[in-house]
Structure formats: C-alpha cells, structure tokens
Structure 1
Amino acid sequence: MSDPLRRLLAAPPDLPVVAGLGALDDALRRRGVAVVQAPPGTGKTTLVPPAVAASVEGRVVVTQPSRIAARAAARRLAHLLGEPVGETVGYAVRGERRVGRATRVEVVTTGLLLRRLQRDPELPGVGAVVLDEVHERHLDADLTLALLVDVRATVREDLALVAMSATVEAERTASLLGDGGAAPVVDVPGALHPVQAVWCPVPAGSRRTDERGITPAFHDHVAATVRRALAEHAGDVLVFVPGVGEVDATIRRLSGIDADVHPLHGRLPGAEQDRALSEGPRRRVVVSTAVAESSLTVPGVRVVVDAGFSREPRTDHRRGLSSLVTVSVSRAAAEQRAGRAGRLGPGVVLRCWSEAEHAHLAAHPEPEIATADLAAFALEVACWGSADVRDLALLDQPPEHALATARRVLVDLGALDEDGRVTSRGRLIAGVPVDPRLARALVDGAGLVGARRAAEVVAMLSEDVRARGGDLVAALRSLRSGDRSGAWRSQVKRLESIAREHGGEGGSGGLTDDVAVGLVVALAHPDRIARKRPGGSSYLMASGTGAAVDRRDPGPLAGLEWLAVADADRRAGEREARIRSAAPLTEDLALEAAPSLWTETDDVRWADGRVLARRRTMLGAIELTSAPIEDPPVEAVTAAIGEALEREGIDLLTWSEAATALRARLDFLHRALGDPWPDVSDEALTANLEAWLGPQLARVRSAKDLRRIDVTAALRTLLPWPEASRLDELAPERVEVPSGSTIRIDYSAEQPVLAVRIQEVFGWKDVPRLADGRVPLLLHLLSPARRPAAVTADLDSFWDNGYPGVRADLRGRYPKHAWPDDPRAATAARRLNRG
C-alpha cells in the first residue's frame, strides 16, 4: 500500500466507519468478500476504499451511481491525502479520466465498470472492486454486482468484492456475494445528529400535481418553504426536487434572496457541479435532483427542504411506452434526504407534505429491474454470453414479459438473432454509451443526416431534455445557442467520434433540421412514428397506441400530419397517451426509418351486415393507402365470416326447422357414440366453416346472401361415410308407437324425448332404445288433453309402480278414455276408446 494511504489509515478522520475497518480487513483476508452496512454520513465512501487497498494487491475500483458522485468522492479522498486528483486517487467518468501510474484507488461510474467488464472480464491490474450505494437498486448496479460474482466464481477467485449499503437489506446482498455461505456483514452504526421534521403541506385549495405534472402553485410553495427555511434556521440549505426542469423552476423563484443559489444535477458542467459542492463566503442554497440523496456530501448543510418527489423509470410494455415519471418519494428516501441535515450537528428538514400523507408513502422505492425498460439490460446479458438470466446472481429477477419484450426490440434492431444470441451489430450498439435504441439511431442516422447532427439529436434524447410544447427541434436550437449545455456538447463530441469511427460520415441529405431531428427520433423509436387521425387532432402511433399533444400548450407540433415521438406516457384512466416530446416527420422519412413495419395486407372483414374487402398498405398500425378488392379470396371471406359467427353467434345463419332438427340428431350421436359422428357445437361449426359450408361461402357478400345458405344441405356434408346410411336407424327422426302414430323425437335435450299420450303406448312393455341400444328414449307421457302426466325411461317399472297412481288421478277426469288394469295387454288407441 502507498504511503499516503497508510498515513491516512494510521490517523483517520473521526468518522463512525473507522470502528468497522478492522472487521472489514479480517473479512477480506478470510473470505475475500464483505458487505459494509452503514448509514449516509458515516464515512464509508471515504475510508473503506483505502482500507480495502491495505488488504489486497492491485488497484481498487470504486463504483458510484453518477458522474457527480464519482468525481466528488475522488476529490474528497484526494483532499484527505493532501494530493491532487490523479495521483494516489483518481476517477473515470464518461468522457473524462484522471488517473496515473501510481493510482491505487479509482472511482468510476457503475456504467463505466460494466463496459470494462464486457471488454475484459479478468479486470487486469484490479485487486478489488467496491460497489457503493447498492441499496439504490439501479439496474446497471444490480447487473454489475451479478457479473462480478460470476467473474469471481469463474476467472478471478482472487478478486476481492465489497458491497456497501445504507439499508437493512445487506443480508440479501451478502447471500449473493458469499461462496458456500453468506459473505461477512460489517455493520457500522450511524452517528447522525438529530433532525427535526417540520411539515409544510400545500395551502388548502392548491394541488401538488395535475395531469401535466408538478403545478406552478406547488413550485411557488417549494420556493416559499425555502425562504422560510432561510429565515427560521441557520446553515446552508439543500433542496430536493425531482428533475432538471424543477431545479430551474425553483431557482427562478428564488431570485433576490440573501444567499448564493446553486443548481446541482448531472447535466451541469464539472465546474458548476464543483461550485455546488464547495462552501463559499456566503450562505448557500443548493437546489438538487436525487443525486445528492445519499452518494454525495454537500458541505455546510444544516437544513433540508424536500419537495417530496423523485423521478423513476416506468414502462408500459404492452404499448411500448417508457419514460421517467414523477412519483412521490418513498419513506426510506425521505429519511435519506433528511439525514443530509444531521451530519454537522442538529438539523431540520422541511417537508412539503403533511404528516398524514407521509404515513401513506411507499416504504422503499421499487428496484429499477421491476419497472424500467430492459433493452439495455438484455443486450448486456447477451454480450456477457449468459443463455439464461436466471443463472446470474441478481437480487431480483426481471419480469418475464418485460424481458421478452426487450429481447424482441433487440431482434428488431438487429442486435440479437432469433435465438437470442448477440450479433456483431449488437456488439457495436452495446459499445455506444446510450440506450440501444439511441445507439441504433446514431449508427444508422449518421449516414442520413450527418454524423454531427445525428450525435446532437441522440445526445439530446439521452439527456432527457424537455422542451416547451414538446418541440424537440426548438430544444436542439436552444442547446446549440445555450451557454449551459456543456454536458450536452461533451456528449455530442463523444458520439460524433463513435459515429465517424463506424463509417457514419454521410451528409445532410438536403434535410432541414425540422425533419432531420424527426428522422433520428424515428430511427430510435420506429414504433412511435405517429400520424394524425382523419378529422381529429389526435394521433395514432405505429404501435397502435393513440396519442395527443398537450391541448393547453400544443406548440408548433399541433396539426402536423406526421410526428416522430421521442417521449410519451399514458396515465391510468386516460384513453390516449400524452406526447411529451416529438419532432416533425414526413411519410417518406417514416418509411425510411421503419421499413420493417411496412406491410401490404388484404383486409377482409364482416361489418354492418356485409363483407368488406380492402387492400391496405400499413406502417405498423398506421394505414397509408386503402383500395377495395373486387374478388377477395374465398379463404379470406371464410375467415371473415368465421370471425363474425364467433363474435355474433352461429345464429347469423338461417336455421330452418329441418336444419335445427338434423343438428340436434348429429349432436346426440356425437355425444352417444363419438367419432366418426361430427361435433356440431357452436365452437366446432365456427372453427370448421370451410368443411361444411364450403363453396356456399364464396358467394356471400351480405347478410342477405348469408341467409340464403342451405344450412340443412351444408350439415349433411358432415355426415360420415359409410355410417351416414345408418342415421335413421341410430337416431330416427320419428318413431312408430303401438297406436300406429309416428311421433317426432325431440333431440334438443340431454336425453332424446318422445312426448306421447299414455293410451298410445298401451301394449309396450319397454321403451325403444337409440344409438345401437345405448340410450333409451325418455317418455313424456301425456294425458288425453296432452298435458304432462309422467316421465319415465323404464316403462316396465312404470306400469307396475307409477301407472296405478296416474290411472287413479286421470280416470275421473277423462272417463271416456280407456284406463285398463293391465296396460301391457291392452290395445293402444289413437282416438277415443271407451274402456
């Protein structure tokens, strides 16, 4: 270990984590793995990496969830060593690396370490990896942890792993890290000073959010709460709001206060981030996104103002919509934020909601793997070579449907083959430090609009830039002319270099910015290409989802025929998605961006009582052209009528009495004898229209034609040969009774029924049996007035047991009819027969 690190550990600052460093060293020497559980403010990010360096050979790589946190952690440790960054301690973030030959501790973003693992899983020269803030459950952090466990189990048994968490879920992480038993857990108790909670709900009649998001009235309330904090409490103020737009909105409302106001978020240039993280000569107000929640130290803070919101990924996999949405903060995150006020001494947190509302907040934020779009995750897993994601040591498995959807997207991008294996194009896309869809837009768009312009648009989309009225073209022009777009410019430079490296020079193709932006957006999200619905103001996206621009702030997008939608979300209970950002497009460029969605289909359907047949050219769900088909294919007509019959019922056909009777007889034989007698249920007839209606369907164009079909003749085509010749024997339409009458059998019930007057069956000793003797007729014996008198399928028993009672009941009412004592020996009578 280098002398600066040894000197630091010999006389460390007075931080609570010092008490656990001995146990950490012991765990690493015995097991090579450990979990450090310590609340924010205990010094784990500062002192654990030097302690790990004392236990292992080689460089110690420390991950942080954001670029701001990585740079700040490296600066803090370098300051304690009395050195500039880049000597014993360095950092590497996207587009910037400050390390040297003597660097022992390198702080990196989790995403950067993930790319290093994909390039070389052995991590040459690295003796240990320290994963900080694993409790935040970011998707790339979960995956990096899983891959490191895999590396340690397969190629680097000597690689030391330390996971650091601020929550009580450390045991779950320990069970993943351990090989043959859970990893040791080093528990460091917190030493935060007490923090008083002050509840500051919005005034009565005001709302925190509406359908457009956070309301202006709530922004006013947050700014008023900051002013109250400055007036009533000492120390610098740290304000938590969910996103960059809210940071800017809050700062605008704080003009004129007696304090220096600084923004803090990931899009700021490094110099501005440094100013926000450095104490100044005057009192400060730092307005921050969630980056300052747990992984950053903002010095001088004694007061926290919490707006109570966070921005989290949400994905509607069925509609293909994914975006960052504003949600209420969890109780765990609210406690993390409040803890920022208790590091230097007793502090206060002013919460912009009520104590009653606090009780109903979720206990913890959901892990990103459960809610985020999984395309980048699935591509990383495929590049790693894992055939089954369940083989990876993930804290939570991804939802199966979400993972399947992500893989389908990657196949459509050409990044995976149909068997789920990564392609050479997939490896190229995975090497671009943006979402796979945006990587595809960069690679393919550079040849169409030029490498520079493609890089500008992709960088803008990757930074989740918001624009008034959702107009991305205006947003791009603002970024080009703005003096606070340093992070965007750096990203453009990197992406342009990647595009040129892979042959994406190209020109502008004569395209203006308006449609060039739209083309790049469409390349990234072909399923979100949208066309205005006829006669309305809303749009239909290629995915089949309806969408609309904000009617209260439509901007220049309203009324355009074609849009390329970059961001849209659909709230619960709303019929259409809301377009948050988009750019103009043309039909030709839509086809250029999404050729795989172009189809030409014959659409034959039953509607309004007739067959409608049209040839449609489609871009996904969007109809481009449509023309009538004069002579549609018979199979298409059959399918359309089948769908109509399935939807509206088999009664669309005209069922004569003869057809209904024949169907009932066939149904009886199918139930009694089975094959080869056909199934004639609604479901079976609908599924086999061609087999029994046959060429009659080809002539159908309307409900009138459908009514002309001879259903009886069609059903007879289903009769099996040679068994058909026995139909009247097995299931006769009529049966002759002793009186000489021939009476129709009713096959509509479960058991065939013969309804007959009692006098007409005198002389029968038993009932006839059908279906080769398997099923007896069920006699409904009637009075002379043809009213029900008795029911039996066992006539012999009825004559002995039931008939005497029936005889006694009916002979008084019908004295002119015969009521013999022995019906078996009596003569049956069709008419009045005096006894």
Structure 2
Amino acid sequence: MGGPGRRETVGHWAVLSDVPLDLPVRPVLPAMVSALRSAGAAVLVAPPGTGKTTLAPLAVADAVDGRVIVAQPRRVAARAAARRMAALLGERVGDQVGYAVRGERRSGPRTRVEVVTTGLLVRRLHHDPELAGVGAVLLDEVHERQLDADLALAFTVESRAALRPDLWLLAMSATPEADRFAALLGGAAPAPVVRASAALHPVTRIWAPPPRPVPPPGAGPVDRVLLDHVAATVRLALRERTGDLLVFLPGVGEITAVAGRLADLRAGVDVLRLHGRQDSSEQDAALRPGQRRRVVLTTAVAESSLTVPGVRTVVDAGLSRVARLDLARGLGALVTVPVSRASATQRAGRAGRQAPGHVYRCWSEATHERLPAQPEPEIATADLTGFALELAAWGAPDGTGLALPDPPPAAAMTVARQTLSTLGAIDADGRITARGRAIVAAGAHPRLARALLDGAARVGADRAAEVVALLAEESVARPGDDIVAAWRRLRAGTEPAATARWRAEVRRLRAALPVAGDGRSYPDNLPAGDVAGRSAPDGSDRSRRLPDDGSPTPLPDDLAAGLLVGLAYPERLARARRPGGGAYLMSGGTAAELAPGSALAGADWLAVAVADRSPGAPTARIRLAAVLDEATAREAGAPSLRTDREVGWSGTDVVAREVVRLGAIELVERPLPRPAPEAVTAALLAGLRGVGLDLLTWTPAARALRERLAFCRRALGDDWPDVSDGALLAGAADWLGPELATARRRADLARIDVAGALRRLVPWSLAGRLDELAPERLTVPSGSRIRVDYTDPAAPVLAVRLQETFGWADAPRIAGGRTPVLLHLLSPAGRPVAVTADLASFWRTGYRQVRAELRGRYPRHPWPEDPTTAPPTRSAWRRR
C-alpha cells in the first residue's frame, strides 16, 4: 500500500494525504511508518496538541494491510478520536473510521481504523490472541498507566512475539518516558523512538494561588475556599482573555460546585460540563464548537486525546482524583491528590492546540517545583482483583515474563488472589477455572460478574442484569445512597441520560449471561414472593419459608437488590449495632455509618455496595447500599456463615457458648452446656494471664512461702523454682495441677490451696531443706521465735526488740550461712531504733548513742553497759 503523504487511494481507503490538516506530528509520520516497517514496533512521543491521536492512525492505515486498532484509556476519548478522524475524511463514523466502547459500537465491514477502549482490547485479546485481520495496534496515552492500558500493552507485546510477528505495534505518549516503553516493546533490542516537535502554539503560564493556604483534601471534600478561588479565577480569565475556557477540577462534585458559583455569569457565556459519567450526547455537546463563548468544566478526562474546540485559556485547580485501596478492610476510596507536573503540562497544552493560549494555575511556582514528576500508576494503588484475573486468564497468574511497565505490588496481588479464590475463579495454583472464564466473559469486575452469574438463577436474568448494571455504572445511582430507589428511577426513565447509559449496560450484561448448565437459558425474570419469618427459633439456616418443592421463596425487588449486592460484596453485609440507628458492623469486621439524614437509617440489615474510609477515621462511610433482611443476608453470605463453639475468658469469668456468625456479625448466641474440660482449663489459664495471679486466694501462709522460695532462688541459685509473676503465670498449668484441671469457673480458682500448689514447684531433693535454709522463724536469745520477713529476697528482715538480742555477738545468718539477716532493732514501744546486718559493729559504735537517748525514756527496761554479756529479756523490770 502507499505510504503516508502519497496522493493515491487504495481500494476505497482515503489516504492521509487527502487530509488537509497540518499539525506538528505530520512531518515525523514517514519516519514513524519506516520504523514500524523495519522493527515492527515503535514509540511515538508527541506533546499535547501535535495531532498524534488523529493523524498517526491514518498514516499507519495507509501503510499496512488489515484493520488498525487504536486503544484509548477512556470512552469519551475513543468516541471523540473516531469522530475527528471521520470528519477529516469527510465521512460518517462507522464507515472507514469507527469505534467500539462498552455497550456501544459503530463500525462496519469497510472500517479500517477502529478506536476502542483499552479494556475492550484486552477482551479481544483473550478471545483472539492472534488478532486476526488486524494489521496494527496503536496504544495511545500509554503514559497514563491505567490497569487496562498496562494489560493491553503486555498482552499485545506477547501476542506479537509468539503469534503475530507481522503485527505492527505503536505506543504513543505525550510524556518523555519513551525509553521505558521502547524497552518493553522491543524485546531483545529497544524499539525505535520517533519524536515530534512541541505544540504549534505557545502557552503562557500564570501563577494564581489562593489568597490563603488551603489544606490538602485527601479523602475528604475539597476546601470551599479553593472552589471559591477557582470560580474567581474563571471570572478573571473571562475578563482578561478571549476565547473559550477549559477548567480542570478533580471530580463531578467539584464541577457541580463551581458551576453553581458561576451560575450568574453574564449573558453570552455558556457553562458546560465534561466528564466520564455523562451520556455520550452530553459529552459530544462539550466537544463541538459553540455559538457563544463557553466555560467547559472538566475532569482529567480532557487531559489528553481530546480537543475541546475554541479553548484559548485553561484554569487548573491543580488536583486529581485517584483510587486507593485499603487492603486490610477491602474498601476503596477516591482520594484527591496534587496533580503531577506531567499532568499539569498536559492540561496546559489544551490551551495551545489552535492558537496561542494561557493557563492559570491555582498554585504557586514554588509549589509546582515540589509536585511529583509523574502521576502514580494505577497498578500501585488500585484494587487488583480484575487485573489478577486477567493475568490468570492469559495464563500468567503472577505476570512473570509479561511486558508490564511495573510489577504489581505483592500485598495487593495476595489480596486479589484470595478474593478470586473465594469466588472460585482460580485454583490453588492461581490458574483460572471454568468459572473464572465465565466471570471474565461477563466483562465486568469479578465481584459483579459473580453476582450476575449466581444471582440470575435466583432472581432472574433481567433483574440480575439491571442491578449489576447499576453497580457497574455507579454514577447513575446518584443522588442518594439507596440502590433500590435508584433502580426504580432508572426503570421509570425519569433521567433520560442516565437511563440510556444504564439500559445499554443492562443489554450488554444480559447478553453476556451464558447458557445454564442444563442447557437452558437463565429465566428472564422470577416472580416476587412474600418473605417469611426472618430467623428461625434455633438460629439455624432455615430462616426463609420454603415452598413445597423445597426451593427458596421468590424475592421481591427490594430483597433481590440486596441479595445481588451481597453476592458481589459478601464482606459488606452489615447489621445495625442498635435498633433504629445509622451505625453498622459489616461482616468483614469494619464499622460503618450512614450519612446523616440517609433514607436507609433505621434498617436492621444493609448490603453495602460502596463504602470508603478516610485515613484515620474510626469508621467507614456508606455511600450506596440496599436494605435486606437476615434471611437474605444469610443467603448472600452463605460461605461465611458458620457455627462456633467457644469457651473463653470474658474478662470476668469463663464463658461457654455456641455462636452462629455471619463473618464478624453474631447472629445467635446460646449457652454451651457441656464444654470440653481442656477448653475450660485453657480459658481459666487465659483469665489468669489476662487478669493476673490475684484471681487466686493468697493466704498469709501462701504469700510467706512464695517469698521464702524467691529468697532461696536468689541466694542459692536456679535449682530453686522461679516464683515471679511471669514464671508462675507461664507455668500455671503445671504447679496448679489437679486443682486447675477440675476447676470450671472463677470461683473454683479462688478455692485452690495456693501454698500446697507452690510446694509442688520445689524439687523433692530440696523440699526437706527449705525450713533449714529459709526458716520461717528464728529463735532469738530471749527464747522468742520471731517470724522472718522475706518480702525483699535480697535482705530478709528480723524485727526484734533490742533487749531480746542481748547476748548475741553478731546477727544470725541463713541460706547455709550465706546471707546475714537484716535486724530491725526495736525500742520497748516497738519502734525501730537501728537497722543493721552487722550486730557486732552496732554494739561497738551505735548502741551507746541509742542507750543514751532511750534509757531516760524507758527507765524500767535494762540498758547495760555491755549488751553482749547482759541477759536478754522480753519484759521490763518490775517496780518495787
């Protein structure tokens, strides 16, 4: 076929030279085609506004046999690119240039260039890895690093290497990471890189930060001060500049808020919206030139591959919304983050596509230098369940050997595989199962595909497709958090744009349902029936009345919606913490709350479809849910329904019970009459370790024995038992012995003879020497037997009246003579007058001072000059 730039027509194909459009990318197109001819793969780097999305596919189609597939990350960009190319050729979309997105296709037998979403390309590669009839695949905006885009790149590279070496593969990017993609495409040697010059028209940057610092939004709402500032900047730009304005905001909520602030703009200015949740006709309206001056409020959908005609000025709020997954709780959240420098450049380029332009950046130049260079790839932050299933379906469960720009995070992949295993989509080795292939074929997130496949047989194919389509096209449920209310609105058709998008998805999902296993199709619908009592008296699974044939009672729409949501998200089945409230516990263990004023408040059970949890928040916020009853919750969450027999320490005593649970939710509790003795013993031990040894009754004799044993261990070594708290708790099962084995409750612990139990710790060879080495009492010179205090094992104390020690030359020693007893010498009134372990030294030096101070106070008691020879006494002299 003719190369680009030749004025000839091959068959009915209008060659590129027939397009009277000169853009910066056009001069490099011959080099691009030459690189593809020689290497089969290439990278085209072209800044925003250079025309790569429009002209490169036409140039490739001029030079290659077969259809040219152009993959775009977004549906709106795919449709817009196809319309733009068709218009340049003077044709209608669906003739030589067509497109295909989820639920919509406009192409025919004459189509040579077909623009598809990256997700749809992945589907086609699964169905036909050879891509029969396709001559080239162009992957546009590969730098955006969406999951489907990464998969499309990896699968196409492998398909070309293994099956289609003749297939041309071109990666197109607006950012300078060309070498990375060249290495991925090239295999043994990097693919050639072709670079186009910058956009034709310059863009002047204007730094316009808010008047005061604005806190980063994170998972919360964007600060109103920033939204006020964006609206004020739009008004300023309208006064200072000509042409249309394109305003970048992080999400639909912010678009609505700023649109409200601009509602009073003067006549002659139209405020339009452009985002991915709109109907295609609404998107197309924003992409067509207007009769009046326009302000187009958009999300990141307009960063690349889209030309909004007439735009001369961009106002950039500097924020982007990205998905984050809480791996521990399985909850996703949309988090608002500062835009990257690369994305800011992309956005600014929208102002210079057709003439010199200006960009008002709502942040400072210093802040700009601190922005990340590139946006974070989706693979690093998103839910990887669908991604992991695609890899398994491709035959590479862990992605090894594929041309993925980044490896998937190990933790996120582990969670994804666990989810897929629970759904029955993969086996123990990570290989896809027949059920997994059915889930892939449904073309929805694996959770939603599971709900579609399993729910269709229960509620009918039509209702299953309708509810799953609502979950897949989540935006059509807004406003409000009640899925059933949204379902009724869509059925009634009160919102035409949302209804049209929903019905298209319903048709697609309905067609995706396979034939049932017995050869019959799923029923179109099943009759709604009355729901019987919500729970059986015994708490068993027989909570829904069954017809005579044993099948479950047909569900009304309300419960059908709840069942389908529960099948998709069984860990989000939630029960109210208290009747009539808005706080719930989800079966996965996460606490959740409804928004204030929610119409769902007061429901005993919810099936939660969408919930998110802000960093640091104690609970998740429920965004979308359906009311259901316990019977339906049991049905939806059947794999997590279990009966546990529990014997444990409750904090105050042993509790033995039988509990029916749905995940973390306790449904039924009843006493366990005959718990296993070993389980009771384990519970008592847990109580001891949790509460402490005070659960036992420590008599004075038991405490004294423990202190004597502690002294022996310190004084005589490790042959003696360790009676510290830690050691006694760790070895409680041994030293408490048979008394513990027969105990059944806390009161039984209090009745144990602790002193007798402690003696079991002493080896038999040492037991007979305990009284010798650590005597309970010592005989003093007066004949009194006085108890030794072993509270401090380092210094046993003998408190004795001074007159009873007359005749002792030195303090007594215990532990086989190793340790002197610390004498607390008392006055006749029992008050300490001296503390010493060296009695001989005290007699020589300290006694004289004590004698001088006390002999006048206690004249009836002896105070001899030489206490070592004086007779000891326990009493005072008698009066004469």
Does residue 563 of structure 1 match 2:606? yes
Counterpart-to-counterpart distance in 2, 1:111 and 1:222: 34
* 2:567 aligned residue: 523
Secondary structure of 1:558's counterpart equals coil
* 1:309 aligned residue: 319
Shift in alpha-carbon separation, 1:224–1:718, aligned structure 2, 3 A:
same
Q: List per-residue Cα deviations over 1:752-791 (Å, max 9, x = no partner).
A: 99999996899x9xx98xxxxxxxx97569799897779x
* 2:431 aligned residue: 421
* 1:497 aligned residue: 511
- Equivalent residue for 2:635, pick from 571, 584, 592: 592
* 1:548 aligned residue: 593
Counterpart-to-counterpart distance in 2, 1:685 and 1:784: 31
Counterpart-to-counterpart distance in 2, 1:115 and 1:348: 41
Q: List per-residue Cα deviations over 1:655-714 (Å, max 9, x = no partner).
A: 6336636975998999968xxx99988667656655554553465465443233334555
AA partner of residue 597 (structure 1): S
Counterpart-to-counterpart distance in 2, 1:226 and 1:18: 34
- Equivalent residue for 1:379, pick from 389, 397, 407: 389
Does residue 285 of structure 1 match 2:295? yes
Residue 814 (structure 1) shift = 8.4
Does residue 532 of structure 1 match 2:576? yes
Shift in alpha-carbon separation, 1:72–1:745, aligned structure 2, 3 A:
same
Q: List per-residue Cα deviations over 1:410-445 (Å, max 9, x = no partner).
A: 122222233323221111111122211111111122
Does residue 96 of structure 1 match 2:104? yes
Counterpart-to-counterpart distance in 1, 2:675 and 2:374: 58
Counterpart-to-counterpart distance in 1, 2:726 and 2:63: 72
Q: Which range moved further: 651-660 or 386-395?
A: 651-660
Q: Which range moved further: 100-109 or 527-536?
A: 100-109
AA partner of residue 349 (structure 1): V
Mapping of residues 720-731 of structure 1, within 5 Å = 724-728=763-767
* 1:828 aligned residue: none
* 1:473 aligned residue: 484
Residue 815 (structure 1) shift = 11
Mapping of residues 417-456 of structure 1, within 5 Å = 417-456=427-466
Cα contact 2:796–2:822 (8 A) shared by 1: no
- Equivalent residue for 1:614, pick from 633, 657, 667: 657
* 2:70 aligned residue: 62
Counterpart-to-counterpart distance in 2, 1:736 and 1:266: 85
Mapping of residues 221-300 of structure 1, within 5 Å = 222-223=230-231, 225-248=233-256, 250-251=258-259, 254=262, 257-300=267-310
Counterpart-to-counterpart distance in 2, 1:680 and 1:128: 80
* 2:548 aligned residue: none
Residue 340 (structure 1) shift = 0.6
Secondary structure of 2:645's counterpart equals strand
* 1:820 aligned residue: none
Mapping of residues 180-259 of structure 1, within 5 Å = 180-198=188-206, 213-214=221-222, 222-223=230-231, 225-248=233-256, 250-251=258-259, 254=262, 257-259=267-269
Q: List per-residue Cα deviations over 1:440-480 (Å, max 9, x = no partner).
A: 11112222332222222211211222534422222223333
Residue 500 (structure 1) shift = 6.6
* 1:71 aligned residue: 79
* 1:772 aligned residue: none
Cα contact 2:653–2:687 (8 A) shared by 1: no
Question: TM-score of the superposition, structure 2-length normalised?
Answer: 0.78
Q: List per-residue Cα deviations over 1:524-575 (Å, max 9, x = no partner).
A: 1111111111265311111111111112xx2311111111111111112321
Does residue 31 of structure 1 match 2:39? yes
Cα contact 2:246–2:313 (8 A) shared by 1: yes
Shift in alpha-carbon separation, 1:31–1:589, aligned structure 2, 3 A:
same
Shift in alpha-carbon separation, 1:190–1:754, aligned structure 2, 3 A:
same
Cα contact 2:199–2:349 (8 A) shared by 1: no
Shift in alpha-carbon separation, 1:810–1:592, aligned structure 2, 3 A:
same
Secondary structure of 2:496's counterpart equals coil
- Equivalent residue for 1:81, pick from 89, 97, 107: 89
Cα contact 1:540–1:622 (8 A) shared by 2: yes
Q: List per-residue Cα deviations over 1:324-361 (Å, max 9, x = no partner).
A: 34444334323321221111222123345566765665
* 2:615 aligned residue: 572
Residue 74 (structure 1) shift = 2.2
Shift in alpha-carbon separation, 1:241–1:606, aligned structure 2, 3 A:
same
- Equivalent residue for 1:488, pick from 490, 502, 512: 502
AA partner of residue 473 (structure 1): V
Counterpart-to-counterpart distance in 1, 2:505 and 2:561: 17
Q: Which range moved further: 214-223 or 316-325?
A: 214-223
AA partner of residue 658 (structure 2): R
Cα contact 1:34–1:162 (8 A) shared by 2: yes
* 2:537 aligned residue: none
Cα contact 2:157–2:403 (8 A) shared by 1: yes
* 2:56 aligned residue: 48
* 1:827 aligned residue: none
Question: What's the Cα RMSD here?
Answer: 4.2
Secondary structure of 1:556's counterpart equals coil
Residue 372 (structure 1) shift = 0.8
Kindly tell me the number of residue pairs found equivalent between the two proteins. 780
* 1:370 aligned residue: 380
Counterpart-to-counterpart distance in 2, 1:59 and 1:680: 84
Shift in alpha-carbon separation, 1:815–1:445, aligned structure 2, 3 A:
closer
Q: Which range moved further: 439-448 or 157-166?
A: 157-166
AA partner of residue 678 (structure 2): E
Q: Which range moved further: 386-395 or 473-482?
A: 386-395
Counterpart-to-counterpart distance in 2, 1:650 and 1:258: 83
Residue 373 (structure 1) shift = 1.0
Residue 167 (structure 1) shift = 1.9
Q: Which range moved further: 398-407 or 539-548?
A: 398-407
Structure 1 gap segments, 5+ residues each: 769-776, 791-805, 817-830
Counterpart-to-counterpart distance in 1, 2:47 and 2:845: 97
Counterpart-to-counterpart distance in 1, 2:70 and 2:713: 74
- Equivalent residue for 1:106, pick from 108, 114, 128: 114
Secondary structure of 1:534's counterpart equals coil
Counterpart-to-counterpart distance in 2, 1:62 and 1:667: 82
* 2:536 aligned residue: none
Counterpart-to-counterpart distance in 2, 1:589 and 1:666: 66
* 1:795 aligned residue: none
Cα contact 1:668–1:747 (8 A) shared by 2: no
Counterpart-to-counterpart distance in 2, 1:188 and 1:789: 96
Structure 2 gap segments, 5+ residues each: 3-8, 530-554, 799-807, 826-833, 849-866, 871-880
Cα contact 1:40–1:339 (8 A) shared by 2: yes
Counterpart-to-counterpart distance in 1, 2:620 and 2:153: 36
Counterpart-to-counterpart distance in 1, 2:147 and 2:674: 55
Counterpart-to-counterpart distance in 1, 2:68 and 2:712: 81
Shift in alpha-carbon separation, 1:318–1:666, aligned structure 2, 3 A:
farther
Counterpart-to-counterpart distance in 1, 2:158 and 2:729: 54
Q: Which range moved further: 484-493 or 362-371?
A: 362-371
Q: List per-residue Cα deviations over 1:707-751 (Å, max 9, x = no partner).
A: 3333455566678xxxx544559x9674499x99999999998xx
Shift in alpha-carbon separation, 1:347–1:647, aligned structure 2, 3 A:
farther
Counterpart-to-counterpart distance in 2, 1:236 and 1:190: 22
Residue 501 (structure 1) shift = 4.4
Does residue 657 of structure 1 match 2:703? yes
Cα contact 1:277–1:298 (8 A) shared by 2: yes
Counterpart-to-counterpart distance in 2, 1:108 and 1:572: 36
Residue 227 (structure 1) shift = 4.4
Q: List per-residue Cα deviations over 1:231-251 (Å, max 9, x = no partner).
A: 432112223233344445555
Does residue 459 of structure 1 match 2:504? no
Shift in alpha-carbon separation, 1:59–1:663, aligned structure 2, 3 A:
farther
